[in-house]
Chain A
Amino acid sequence: MATTVSKPDLLVGKSIRRREDPRLLTGTAIYLDDIKMPGMHHACIVRSPHGAARIKSINTKPALDRPGVAAVFTGADIASLGAVPCAASLPGLRVPHHHLLAQDRVYYQGHPVAVVVATDRYLAADAADAVEVEYEPLPAVTDPEKAIAAGAPAVHPEWADNIAFTFHQEGGDTAQAFRDAEVIVKQRITSQRLIPVALETRGVVADWRPGEKSLTLFSSTQIPHLMRSLVAGILGMPENLLRVITPEVGGGFGSKLNVYAEEALMAFIAKRINKPVKWVESRRENFQATIHGRGHVDYFELAAKRDGTMLGLKLKLIADLGAYHQLLTPAIPTLSVLMMPGLYRFKNVTADIVGVFTNCVPTDAYRGAGRPEATHGIERMVDMLARELNMDPVELRLKNFVGNDEFPFPTATGLSYDSGNYAAPLKQALAQAGYPELRTEQAQARKEGRLMGIGIATYGEICALGPSAALPAGGWESATVKIEPSGKVTVMTGASPHGQGEETTFAQMAADALGVGIDDVLVVHGDTAVVQYGIGTFGSRGTAVGGAALFYALEELKAKVRKFGAMMLDTDSVTLSGGACVDEKTGKSISFAEVAAAAYHAKKLPPNTEPGLVSTHFWEPPNFTFPFGAHLVVTEVDRETGNIEIKRYIAVDDCGKIINPLLVAGQVHGGVAQGLGQALWEQAVYDDTGQLLTGELTDYAIPKAHFMPWIESSHTCTPSPVNPMGVKGVGEAGTIGCSPAVVNSVVDALAPLGVRHIDMPLTPEKIWKMIAQGGQA
């Protein structure tokens, strides 16, 4: 028995380096493609080269005759299996049956038609080329507005109008607001289709064990448990005989928040050929067959008084859904509607969504998922209103923000904003930028004929998704904490982190709560046979929901450790600190390891206490969290080339309490990079026949490291009352705040030419043409 141990500093709030990084940086992490198994076969998928076509015939014999080929599967082989699942439901939603392989028609370029399985990846690819598919091309439609125009080709022949659903939501009295308006600003604003481009493409390994009649599925996914339930459903196999393991995941951004045909296909094939089978997506397949994001055409109308008081907002949202519904496809635009009032007080909102089928790969959640589109819209509209009223955009925003005394604030779209101080990050950004000086500098630049812009966007988010009532498959999260007999701590989280760094942040939380060193804590995730059920990581929920589950699991376990400590120290007040149980009165202590051993040896138990030290907590959040912030961007546009230089990028984000500032900075940087991608460079382009013209990284411009500006990132802190740690989530903040700030800045730069709005991406070509045409698009 030792004497007093000095109390260590708490780890929560500190910039601890990610414990994940050494294995990632030294190439010793195990990704899906690193998995090798004896007898493992490889699959290659034959995909439609057409946007729309009838399949007249498929001849698999030339492929079967090739060396190393074990099997070829086509639509006929899987027709009796379940469909690729869509978990979202909306009234009147039309759901096309999404077979794992095309039946008699293909609906988008990249649509899987056949799978070739061979002993080697290259033999499989060559054999896939030998499959003869005869197509009869059909008219296609890839533009959502053209798709709902009269006479457009029907994507699904059974629904001639191409409308998958319509959705109406209103709050307050929008008609009255528009009657009361002294000024109405209208604008069509697009949020172009984007390709998520995770560094690691998708991949699946399926391993059938005939003796156990069990199947282990390795998948690069964000949602191992949901995948287990859904794939078991597709195959009609008992869920407890299916195990999903998520190896290291090289980025998801929502694109792996899904169950794709390939997961069920590989499971089916492994069982059929009685061999492990691996499929790894190529980059071209990733562009064609993994979900895209965004794809909005939004018609906004904003009503206001001449003094700048905003009264109401109307939105007609045309959402390009693609050919099928993936897991959450139709739900994503409804998030835009929820978010459309932004940080503003007005209570009159009307929104109409038209969800449209097109001959394109489905859209679904991509970093921000519906909220960037809404934020881009409202923040562009506010800038246009400021211009119309000849008001400073800062003043207009400050005038309309929800006040600090109005929380919890019920929005016109039915949400309850948890907490906020919306002026704080904006004022901090302005102070940091030296706003009045910047405006003076801009006036001088304009005199010299230079095109300098100052853009501001404030944003709100809906994060910590979310209460179960709002999500199709539950919105809670789970955590188990085990103290092993040696005193080592194992945390199992149902959130499935894949780059967010919870192996570090959750270890910080556990170490602080139990008074042990961070190196004594292991965080385990992504294996359905080891981790209790969980929902996964998306919607900035990992820490704000998964962390809260961990918080309560730790509280429960801490109480039990204290009981054992109190019994052993023969006291009634024990704290956990410095790797020991300490008697608060005498300062006497007993090591954490000794207490743990006693709990398992169980020679003597405290009253009403079971042996062992394990606790599990499933936490249901009472609400979403609502982070917010302000981004300020200074740009200069080159008149000769149309090139945009970002002179300063200031991001002030309020994500509530921060567990690890280093990781929050990483999230902001990554989010801003993807926001800049949308604002300036990226766009998925299909031609009218359904050919994806941006089929590779040569034609799809994701930001490179040298494109990135210096990001001046700082924070304000308004704790959330929704969870016990006061955190709000930060995974999507950068993406949401970025694009409107950049576009507002460039429009401000081009204002002397009469430019009022520009749709993304702001490519030099587009800007140069505008300058050449005196401000006309």
Chain B
Amino acid sequence: MKLTGSYTVPGPRERAYALLQDPAVLAQCMPGCEGLDRIGENEYAMRMKMTLASISGRFEGKVRISDANPPESFRLMVEGSGKIGFVKGDGLLTLSPAHGGTSVRFEGDVQVGGTIANVGQRLVETTARMLIKRFFDKLAAAASVLRATESAAD
């Protein structure tokens, strides 16, 4: 399943890029994330809870960042599995200056399997879009908070 879209995050590109690499921020913004621990260079162990249609369950997996080209782009790979199935995603995030902040464009491929595919296939795409939107909404909020803090510090 191909997923593409773009969202705007307040603040300059460098800051948006830094936020997207910060495990604490990512853990806070990823819907259902129950933990994100660094296990290596640009690699994190992730625990998250996911609900899709009538099923929900915990996933454990890995998040890996590669092809880092700050502050323009990086590649994000997510892999997780749990009792209700597995998810594998691979996406390229491209950051560009935009009016009032930074535009983050993503282009990715997501594969789901197990019960979530058997039962929720028709809802996978809309759910994925919803989760991504929530992520960016939270990221935008985090960026705003950061900017407000910085302004106050000025």
Contacts and interface: CB of A to CB of B under 8 A. Distances in A.
B125 to A, nearest CB: 12
A696 B115 CA distance: 10
Interface stretch (A167-175, A223-231, A567-575, A684-692): A684-692
A691 B112 contact: yes
A687 B117 contact: yes
Secondary structure of the A contact surface, majority rule: loop
Interface residues of A, number: 17
Interface residues of B, number: 13
A689 B118 contact: no
B83 interface: yes
B118 A50 contact: no
A696 B117 contact: no
B119 A284 contact: yes
Contacts of A692: 117-118
Nearest to A110: B118
Given A49-B85, A49-B86, A695 B113 contact: no
A50 B113 contact: yes
A691 B119 contact: no
Most central of A49, A284, A287, A693 by chain B CB within 10 Å: A49
A108 to B, nearest CB: 13
Given A49-B85, A129-B83, A698 B119 contact: yes
B10 to A, nearest CB: 39
A284 B118 contact: yes
Contacts of B83: 129
Given A50-B113, A691-B112, A696 B86 contact: no
B122 A699 contact: yes
A696 B118 contact: yes
B85 A695 contact: no
B111 interface: yes
Most central of B83, B115, B121 by chain A CB within 10 Å: B121
Given A49-B85, A49-B86, A129-B83, A691 B122 contact: no
Contacts of A687: 117
Nearest to B83: A129
Interface in B90-118: 111-115, 117-118
A691 B88 CA distance: 13
Contacts of A288: 118
Interface string A663-697: 00000000000000000000000010101111110
Nearest to A288: B118
A224 to B, nearest CB: 31
Nearest to B57: A129
A687 B121 CA distance: 10
B114 to A, nearest CB: 4
A54 to B, nearest CB: 15
A238 B121 CA distance: 47
A285 to B, nearest CB: 10
B28 to A, nearest CB: 29
Contacts of B122: 699
B44 to A, nearest CB: 20
Contact of A696 (B112, B113, B114, B119): B119
Contacts of B121: 691, 693-695, 699
B118 A695 contact: yes
B111 A695 contact: no
Nearest to A51: B113
A693 B118 CA distance: 5
A696 B117 CA distance: 10
Interface string A173-202: 000000000000000000000000000000
Contacts of A49: 85-86, 113-115
A689 B113 CA distance: 9
B112 A695 contact: no
B51 to A, nearest CB: 16
B109 to A, nearest CB: 12
A366 to B, nearest CB: 20
Given A687-B117, A689-B111, 13 more contacts: A49-B115, A50-B113, A109-B113, A109-B118, A284-B115, A287-B118, A689-B113, A691-B118, A692-B117, A692-B118, A693-B117, A693-B118, A694-B121
Interface of B: 83, 85-86, 111-115, 117-119, 121-122
Nearest 5 Cβ contacts at the A-B interface: A695-B118, A49-B114, A691-B117, A693-B121, A129-B83
